[in-house]
Amino acid sequence: MQKYIDKQCRIPDDISIIEAGAVLKAFIRNLPDALIHQDYERWFVEAAKLPEDHIVEALLLAVFLLPLEHIYLLMYFMQFFQEITTHSSTNKMDLHNMAIVISPNIFEQTNKVSAETSSIRCDITKIMMQHAKEIGCVPEKIIQKLDDFDTLQAQKKCRFFW
């Protein structure tokens, strides 16, 4: 499949989802910057340490700290890899297994990654796959707050000083 892509040829229809996933994994690994660069990773790690009922929202908000290109790629890849997990009865790639395979490719690789860091990265990747369709979407409650703010601004009850 990689040869087809390199030669800019049409990819045959009979390519398996696993082969496509392997090519995408290689693509992610070869990006000039990791999708979740070390400069941003701490926000994701801190989000993952929050109480369970806040983790998903915090992770999805942390995505907005990434460069726009990374957000788009993360949206696409998480949805694709989540799709692979829907076939776990035949390919053995459930969310946990997929997260183990993918997380080292999403986060910037440093010389020494502790077992705890690897585990947190895996958990983050798993949650991102579970909520792949929500990546890059502004939460409804924030939109509501912005609407409320616009209403206040329109009524001149709120002023900006800049």
pLDDT in tens, 122-132: 999 999 999 99
Asked, for residue 103, whether it belongs to a domain, the answer is yes
Average pLDDT in the chain: 83
Helices (H), the chain: 2-6, 17-29, 38-48, 52-62, 68-85, 88-91, 95-106, 115-130, 140-154
**How many CB atoms neighbour CB 24 within 10 A?**
18
| Percent share of the chain, pLDDT over 70 | 83
17 pLDDT more than 50 = yes
Helices (H), 51-114: 52-62, 68-85, 88-91, 95-106
Select from 57, 45, 17 the least CA-distant residue to 117: 45
Calculate mean pLDDT across residues 136-150.
79
**Cβ neighbours of residue 93 closer than 8 Å, sequence gap 6 or more:** 18, 21, 84, 85, 87, 101
What domain count does the chain have?
A: 1
Asked, for residue 27, whether it belongs to a domain, the answer is no
What pLDDT was estimated at residue 160?
A: 43
- Please indicate whether residue 10 or residue 20 has the higher confidence score (pLDDT): 20
Chain centre distance of CA 136:
9
19 pLDDT more than 80 = no
pLDDT in tens, 20-61: 778 788 888 888 888 999 889 999 999 999 999 999 999 999
The boundaries of the domain holding residue 74 are: 33-154
Asked, for residue 18, whether it belongs to a domain, the answer is no
Asked, for residue 46, whether it belongs to a domain, the answer is yes
Task: Please give the structure tokens belonging to residue 146.
Answer: 């912005």
Calculate mean pLDDT across residues 84-90.
87
Task: Give the separation between CA 141 and CA 91, rounded to whole angstroms.
Answer: 38
3-state SS of 91-102 is HCCCHHHHHHHH
Q: How confident is the model at residue 6 (pLDDT cuts 50, 70, 90)?
A: low
Q: Residue 60's domain is classified under what CATH number?
A: 1.10.555.10
Asked, for residue 17, whether it belongs to a domain, the answer is no
Asked, for residue 133, whether it belongs to a domain, the answer is yes
Phi-psi sector, 55: left (phi>0), alpha (psi -120 to 50), beta: alpha
Asked, for residue 44, whether it belongs to a domain, the answer is yes
13 pLDDT more than 80 = no
Chain centre distance of CA 23:
17
Asked, for residue 57, whether it belongs to a domain, the answer is yes
67 pLDDT more than 90 = yes
